[in-house]
Amino acid sequence: MLAQNTYSATAQHSPYLQANPSTTQEDFKASYDDLIDEHAAPYSAHAQHQTFAVGTPTHTHHRGTSIPLSSKNAYASNLSDDTHETTSSYPPILPSKEVDTRTLWQKILPESVACRFYVATVLIETTIDLAIEGELFLRVQDERDASGNQSANNQAAARMPVYLSVFALAHVFQFIMAVDAVYARNTLQFLCLAIFNALFLVYAIVQIKEIREATSNTTASASKIPIDVLTTIIPIVISIAEVAYIGLGWKIYHEFGWKVYKFLGADRRIKKMYADYQIYECLVKFDVFFWAGFSVQFIWLVLQDTDWEYYVTCAALPLSIVLLVEGHLAARHENKWMMATFMSGCVGAMIYFIYKLIKVLLYKDTSQFKLVWKSLTVFSVIAIALLFLTFIYSVIVLRNFGRGLKDALTRKAQGKAPVHRRAASTNLNRMSID
């Protein structure tokens, strides 16, 4: 009887349970009103049970709207902690690019004492050697003008200005490379500069005999310093600088190791690719000097302006510089077409230097190459070796394209450290594990 009464009351207040319900005002009530009317008094009152009527809530909810899910960054399972960088604040903040307020001098020379001592050492060595080389150049010119064609060493004296110019150019190149190594934090480049300076020492020792043979040991100059003293000072300065380069380079290696770690993170794969990239960059930069050094000597000491090869070599010199710049840009921006063009140019340049080397060795006893074949042979052999290594590492760098190194280098250039955190939910009204 109680169930029947309950059903009747329910049917009375719920027109949807009737066989043919008519459209009434009850159809437009909110859904929670039906529940209230249905369960407000389901049982009759007795001694052990009391029913309570649920009233309509008088307060309203003032909670704001949720952030739409469309603004949430998508997450891919193949991304790692080093590459998946997102914000984790509430609400998410758009990333802003940091403004570098450092001056140009502060960018070139960091606060590291070892770096500043290194650049100062290179600057002092370059200044002293260039001053001595300039004095020797003037004395060789005076000796050649005074002797005219009567001197047996006139031909050798005519070639000494070119050698001195190449030696001075090498010092300027070394200073630029030192500043670039400090600015780019290329630890491998410091090792290459130490080897390059050691080659300076060997060349300076060989140069002593050549200069003394080309000039007379007189003091007929404004400096009043004998030739023997000037030619001896250069190897001493280079030797002292070499010791300083090794010691400071070791200190800088440990300092830059930590700074590079902060930019690249602990991913060994990225660090290995970055090491290959640094080796490649060093090879390209040193290619510039040896290509230019060989071309300058070949143009001014061997070729004549009536020879067709003279104009070809003059045109190839600037084109080779452009090719090396293209190789740098191809590796930095990971452009496969530019890298393919650079590799083709390296093969062509290697064939060119091999041809020149064979020609120099075949005609070394002729008057055209008799006094210059040793220097040209050294430059051509070093250029061929560098080209071979450059081609190998260009293949290695090409295979590393698209593996995250470009993003790491961009992050380094912008001064941002890698972020090791996942994206947080942008919906503030729910809990989630992303």
Distance CA(262)–CA(282), nearest Å, equals: 22
| Residue 148: inside a domain | yes
Distance CA(410)–CA(332), nearest Å, equals: 9
Chain mean position to CA 301: 38
| Residue 285: inside a domain | yes
**Residue in this structure with the two tokens 């009464």, named with its chain if needed:** 5
| Residue 68: inside a domain | no
Distance CA(85)–CA(70), nearest Å, equals: 18
What are the angstrom distances between the C-alpha of 342 and each of 139, 247, 336, 349? Answer: 43, 36, 10, 10
Looking at the structure, do residues 254 and 138 belong to the same domain, yes or no?
yes
| Strand partners for 302 | none
Looking at the structure, do residues 233 and 300 belong to the same domain, yes or no?
no
Looking at the structure, do residues 158 and 186 belong to the same domain, yes or no?
yes
Looking at the structure, do residues 298 and 214 belong to the same domain, yes or no?
no
Looking at the structure, do residues 348 and 308 belong to the same domain, yes or no?
yes
| Residue 125: inside a domain | yes
Tally Cβ neighbours within 10 Å of residue 185. Answer: 19
What are the angstrom distances between the C-alpha of 175 and each of 61, 148, 201, 325, 351? Answer: 71, 37, 16, 19, 31
Which string of b and e fits 283-301 if b means at least 16 CB within 10 Å?
bbbbbbbbbbbbbbbbbeb
CA geometry: angle at 206 spanning 194 and 368, to 5°?
A: 115
Residue 214 parent element (H or E)? helix 187-214
What are the angstrom distances between the C-alpha of 305 and each of 299, 308, 318, 352? Answer: 9, 8, 18, 20
**Quick one: angle between helices 187-214 and 268-297, nearest 10?**
20
Tally Cβ neighbours within 10 Å of residue 322. Answer: 10
The pLDDT, as a whole number, for residue 429 is 42
| Residue 107: inside a domain | no
Looking at the structure, do residues 186 and 248 belong to the same domain, yes or no?
yes
3-state DSSP assignment of residue 150: coil
Looking at the structure, do residues 297 and 393 belong to the same domain, yes or no?
yes
The pTM of this model reads 0.65
CA geometry: angle at 46 spanning 45 and 52, to 5°?
A: 40
Residues 6+ apart with CB under 8 A from 205: 235
Phi/psi for 46 (5° steps) reads -145, -175
Looking at the structure, do residues 133 and 170 belong to the same domain, yes or no?
yes
Q: Which of 223, 248, 264 is the endpoint of a domain?
A: 264
Tally Cβ neighbours within 10 Å of residue 228. Answer: 12
**Residue 3's domain spans which residues?**
1-56
Q: Which two tokens stand for residue 223?
A: 């400096």
Say if CB 335 and CB 341 are below 8 A apart. no
Looking at the structure, do residues 222 and 119 belong to the same domain, yes or no?
yes
Looking at the structure, do residues 48 and 192 belong to the same domain, yes or no?
no
Looking at the structure, do residues 240 and 297 belong to the same domain, yes or no?
no
CATH number, domain with residue 182: 1.20.140
Helix ranges (DSSP H) in 334-368:
336-362
Q: Which two tokens stand for residue 169?
A: 């150019």
Tally Cβ neighbours within 10 Å of residue 230. Answer: 19
| Residue 118: inside a domain | yes
| Residue 433: inside a domain | no
Say if CB 157 and CB 137 are below 8 A apart. no
Looking at the structure, do residues 127 and 226 belong to the same domain, yes or no?
yes
432: exposed, middle or buried (Cβ count in 10 Å: 0-12, 13-18, 19+): exposed
Domain count, the chain: 3
Q: List average pLDDT for each run of 10 residues in the chain, which is 434 residues long.
A: 49 50 54 55 55 58 55 50 51 59 65 84 91 83 65 62 82 89 83 88 80 60 71 89 90 75 68 86 89 84 78 83 88 89 91 90 81 82 92 91 75 53 43 40
Q: Which of 38, 56, 74 is the endpoint of a domain?
A: 56
| Residue 389: inside a domain | yes
Q: Which of 230, 264, 298 is the endpoint of a domain?
A: 264
Of 125, 208, 174, the residue nearest 293 (C-alpha): 174
Say if CB 182 and CB 108 are below 8 A apart. yes
